[in-house]
Amino acid sequence: MFWDDYLWKLYMTLSLWSYSMYKTLPGSYQNEDTGRDIYQLIKSRGFKYESHFVQTQDGYILQLVRVINPFVTGTKKRRLKPILLQHGFQCTGTLWLIAANGTLDRYGNYIEYIVDSENRPITINGTKEVANTLGYVLATRGYDVWLANYRGSVYSSNHTTLNMTDEEFWKFSMDEMIHFDLPAEIDYILKHTKRTKLSYIGHSQGNLMMLALMSISDRYARKINPFIALSPVFYNLNMSSAIRAITPIKTILRAFPRMVPYSNTTRSLVAHICQNIYIRKLCFQVTYPFFGSFTQNMILDRIPVYLSSSPGGSSSWNAAHFMQMIEAPNGQPEYFDHGLWKNLEWYGQLKPPVYDAGRINSTKMALIYTSGDWLNSLESIEFLKSKLKVKLLDDYCVPDKSYNHLDLIWAKDVGQVVNRRILKILSSA
């Protein structure tokens, strides 16, 4: 215990010293959103928030953050349609809040500021054009926005009996998120808003979770109208070589349950260092194979903001589960592999069962994706569509072939390319 405390204090001292030295380097600057937490981000735009805590069947305490539009009051507030936004792997609810800088003006219009290809500022009036930051767009377009934070992330790190320092805390994979987390969140929001249905928008793993839940529960499928999937991850065919190269470490990740990849302090330090204009592009080059985004679609001065938000923490078992699916036949979504004998105990068979997309009965699903997604290939999406036996509400492949995985959330023109389509789907559902 002494050495653990000593090493932690040494690490913190070196981190603070490194950051102090960094601030003296040429090219250093401070992006005001870097380091802001989810609450500060919401307040900085002129919105308010509520924190709601949901206990799952297995004792995890999840935090839902509700975005409150102060210009919507009284009976108008009660008429707002609830919508749950579920982030993907290693992200948090901040995913939906940091695409660009912006604010509510005194009339309740959301105004956003971005830069064009020549680094010139552009103002987007959210009443005339659709802005980029989806969380705020929805909050000003008649929706009651709820931001999910899956278990183990920085905003959902509590349990009724376990601490984050306990190995047992980290023994969860996507299965628990599918079977426990999503149902608990959906039921809580519907009870709180006195509704029978809600809308759901997922990104990446957030879609795998909902597709898997719909494949095992028609009851929950009926509660979602519509389900909009941005990069509908389910099958994992032709995964990028950078991701496939690290799949052999899944055995180690499974053997040592813990938070991955690193602490909140390290994430903050990396984000602040990457604010330097001379280091920023290097940071982008290192991270973009995993983030999935191309330079021409990015607002480069927001890279440190993205890095201060992600990775937001998850379980090593969750990471191992993804790697297991990548290596599975046809990249099929299997339950977590506990090993032969534990599989027999858990599932009644030696190999883990599979989530079957063919069982999904919902006709209220819309898929939005891109042919250039490194983390979710077009072949994977086409394979998913071939397995579905229901008609889709919408099937939209972004025409811009340079769009990648996170461009569907953060690209410079995502408001016009994606968010406008989302609003159309929501209004017609």
pLDDT digits (tens, 9 = 90+) for 393-418: 999 999 998 899 999 999 989 999 99
CA separation for the pair 339, 347 (Å, rounded): 11
Least confident of 176-180, 287-291, 334-338, 348-352: 287-291
Average pLDDT, the chain: 86
Instruction: Give the pLDDT score at 331.
Output: 84
Binned at pLDDT 50, 70 and 90, residue 313 comes out as confident
Q: What is the dihedral of CA 142, 196, 415, 363, to 10 degrees?
A: -140
Instruction: Give the pLDDT score at 2.
Output: 38
Q: What is the dihedral of CA 9, 10, 11, 14, to 10 degrees?
A: 120
Binned at pLDDT 50, 70 and 90, residue 31 comes out as confident
Instruction: Give the pLDDT score at 27.
Output: 53
Instruction: Give the pLDDT score at 247.
Output: 65
Tokens of 145: 């926005």
Residue with the bigger pLDDT between 88 and 115: it is: 88
In 155-214, where do the E strands start and end? 158-159, 198-203
Q: Are 143 and 418 in contact (CB under 8 A)?
A: no
Whether the predicted pLDDT of 245 surpasses 70:
no
Span 355-382, average pLDDT: 94
Binned at pLDDT 50, 70 and 90, residue 3 comes out as very low
Whether the predicted pLDDT of 76 surpasses 90:
no
Whether the predicted pLDDT of 176 surpasses 90:
yes
CA separation for the pair 252, 320 (Å, rounded): 9
Q: Is 71 helix (H, G, I), strand (E, B) or coil?
A: coil
Q: Are 352 and 332 in contact (CB under 8 A)?
A: no
109 closest CA partner among 67, 144, 70? 70
Whether the predicted pLDDT of 123 surpasses 50:
yes
Instruction: Give the pLDDT score at 6.
Output: 44
Least confident of 75-84, 297-306, 340-349, 359-368: 297-306
Distances (CA, A) of 192 to 64, 65, 218, 249: 12, 13, 22, 42
Residue with the bigger pLDDT between 362 and 305: it is: 362
Which CATH number is 26-428 given?
3.40.50.1820
CA separation for the pair 245, 98 (Å, rounded): 30
Place of tokens 């349990």: 159
Binned at pLDDT 50, 70 and 90, residue 244 comes out as low
Distances (CA, A) of 328 to 51, 106, 162, 171, 172: 38, 53, 32, 21, 19
Binned at pLDDT 50, 70 and 90, residue 316 comes out as very high
CA separation for the pair 336, 316 (Å, rounded): 12
Instruction: Give the pLDDT score at 115.
Output: 65
Q: What percent of the chain has pLDDT over 90?
A: 60
Span 359-379, average pLDDT: 94
Span 296-319, average pLDDT: 84
Q: Are 64 and 52 in contact (CB under 8 A)?
A: yes
Span 106-110, average pLDDT: 90
